[in-house]
Amino acid sequence: MTVEVQSEATQVAEVVVPKEELEAKKIVEEVENEKVKEEEEEETKPKAIEKSSSYREESNFLSDLKENEKKALNDLKSKLEEAILGNTLFKKEESATKKSPEKSPSGEEEEKKDDENKVEEKVEEEETKNEENCDTNGENKEEKESEEEGADLDVDGVDKVISIWGVPLLPSKGDERTNVVLLKFLRARDYKVNESFEMLKKTLQWRKDFKIQSILDEDLGSDLAPTAYMSGTDNQGHPICYNIFGVLDDQELYSKTFGTEEKRKQFLRWRVQLMEKGIQQLDFKAGGVSSLLQINDLKNSPGPSKKEVRVATKQAVDLLQDNYPEFVAKNIFINVPFWYYAFQSLLSPFLTQRTKSKFVFARPAKVTETLLKYIPIQEIPIQYGGLKRENDFEFSVSDCEASEMLLKAGSTETIEIPAAEVGSTFTWDVTIVGGEVSYKEEFVPEDENSYTIIIQKEKKLSSSIRNTFKNNEAGKIVLTIKNTSSKKKKAFYRHKIKKSAI
């Protein structure tokens, strides 16, 4: 007696994007020319001590900081406090009606001043009236925006509630998250206080000019949704951002995204919006999570010969590097094609050593193994050899933990799922890491006089499979895995049971 049960398998294909070697060579030559120019310029500068290429995510606890780091943090806090209280943090906006005195006769100048005074008096009168009529249910738009990025004015007209990513920046408020944010800017500038302070000022000004306070509420369309998205967390609790470059190989979407300068600006705004959504998941606590893990899938991605991609990528890198310091714990590139190394060389001069140290690269055959170093198998999408499925109605976050089994070379291992209660429905996931194995599924009845039911005939398996079975008698489900190769592999599995309602 045989029961056929439909199973689902997902293969991780090894794909190398075909590109003209001449194009890659041309890019390399361009890069080499740029490097030569930079090296000539660098020769005239003082030589800096080369840093280690290996970095760990530093602690944000004050007790773990070195003395020079503590001093830098205190100095930056002092400069920031002074700038906020002195109302000098942002650029002063000049009045649109202001004219040069040289171009106006003295009589006209006096008349203009009188008119300006009248306008100012009128504005003050209107503001006073609005304040008197404003109740708790009708907050001003500026007050609402200040909760996100902005500033509440005290009686002296000084911005004291300036915040970034929901964290207040005025050090005297004593919020522990302020230290975590300031340490990001200090680390991005090697604890050089003045440079860190200027970076922070430029970031705050950029956020104001870019209208960040409203970006989360903007509808920027759904066309770009498949190109990047947030999904799950890694072993350390970092939210994971996936960037799927292969989607842009579609010519229509490519044109919509990079066809014009305006479209590239729209793409940048959409990408910033996604970054801000990811940051919403961070807590900025000393022992908490304050950075993201980024996965960049280069499978089928447009090559470096497409100028629009190169331009937009550089703009995105510059923008994120300048305004989101130390927000990436690791930058993992998977399904890396041969031409990418030339492209990486093109970007390399624009990246700091600290940023480059966080890069991890994986060819198609090593994708799952690489991701497993940072992400639990239940959080890795099935297209990358994991167990996570989009809109999964079988396994929830609370019951998705998987078990691991080592498959030694030439060994046969079994996974047994007890099925004592009749009428129960069993669902299980299995994924193989490291190569192909032989795999089959059976139901073995408790009654020796009953027949064994074949759920899945023996087949070759190298990635993920899910299956279900409902038992009509007591017994057990047996999953058999044979590793006939000379290399070790791993199997990950999980299961759940839905008992009969009767």
- 8 and 382 Cβ atoms separated by less than 8 Å: no
Stronger pLDDT, 384 or 103, i.e. the higher one: 384
The pLDDT value recorded for residue 84 is: 95
Highest mean pLDDT among 257-261, 344-348, 383-387: 383-387
- 187 and 325 Cβ atoms separated by less than 8 Å: yes
pLDDT at 116 over 70: no
Mean pLDDT of all residues in 425-450: 96
The pLDDT value recorded for residue 150 is: 45
> Regarding beta strands 167-168 and 163-164, do their DSSP bridges make them parallel or antiparallel, or are they unpaired?
antiparallel
Pick the CATH number of 59-85+161-208 from 1.10.3470, 2.60.200, 1.10.8, 2.40.50: 1.10.8
User: To which H or E segment does residue 481 belong?
Assistant: strand 475-482
Above pLDDT 70, what percent of the chain? 71
DSSP per residue, 123-165: HHHHHHHHHHH--TTS--HHHHHHTTT---B-TTS-B---EET
- 9 and 463 Cβ atoms separated by less than 8 Å: yes
The pLDDT value recorded for residue 386 is: 95
369 Cβ neighbours under 8 A, 6+ residues apart: 362, 433, 434
pLDDT band at 275 (very low <50, low <70, confident <90, very high): very high
Average pLDDT, the chain: 79
What's the pLDDT tens digit per position in 332-373? Answer: 999 988 766 666 666 666 666 777 788 899 999 999 999 999
The pLDDT value recorded for residue 267 is: 86
The pLDDT value recorded for residue 152 is: 47
Lowest mean pLDDT among 266-270, 419-423, 489-493: 266-270
260 Cβ neighbours under 8 A, 6+ residues apart: none
The pLDDT value recorded for residue 226 is: 85
* Every domain of the chain and the residues it spans: 59-85+161-208, 226-374, 401-497
pLDDT band at 160 (very low <50, low <70, confident <90, very high): low
Q: What region, left, alpha or beta, does residue 404 occupy, with left being phi > 0 and alpha being psi -120 to 50 degrees?
A: beta
Q: Report how far residue 338's alpha carbon sits from residue 322's, in angstroms, rounded to the nearest whole number.
A: 29
Mean pLDDT of all residues in 385-393: 92
The pLDDT value recorded for residue 401 is: 86
The pLDDT value recorded for residue 42 is: 42
The Cα diameter of the chain in Å comes to: 114
Highest mean pLDDT among 90-104, 389-403, 417-431: 417-431
Q: Report how far residue 151's alpha carbon sits from residue 158's, in angstroms, rounded to the nearest whole number.
A: 9
Mean pLDDT of all residues in 212-228: 86
The pLDDT value recorded for residue 155 is: 41
> Regarding beta strands 475-482 and 437-445, do their DSSP bridges make them parallel or antiparallel, or are they unpaired?
antiparallel
- Closest listed residue to residue 483, CA positions, set 433, 430, 428: 433
Class of domain 401-497: mainly beta
Highest mean pLDDT among 246-255, 316-325, 348-357, 364-373: 364-373
Q: For the domain bounded by 226-374, which CATH number is listed?
A: 3.40.525.10
Lowest mean pLDDT among 135-149, 230-244, 305-319: 135-149
Stronger pLDDT, 467 or 301, i.e. the higher one: 467
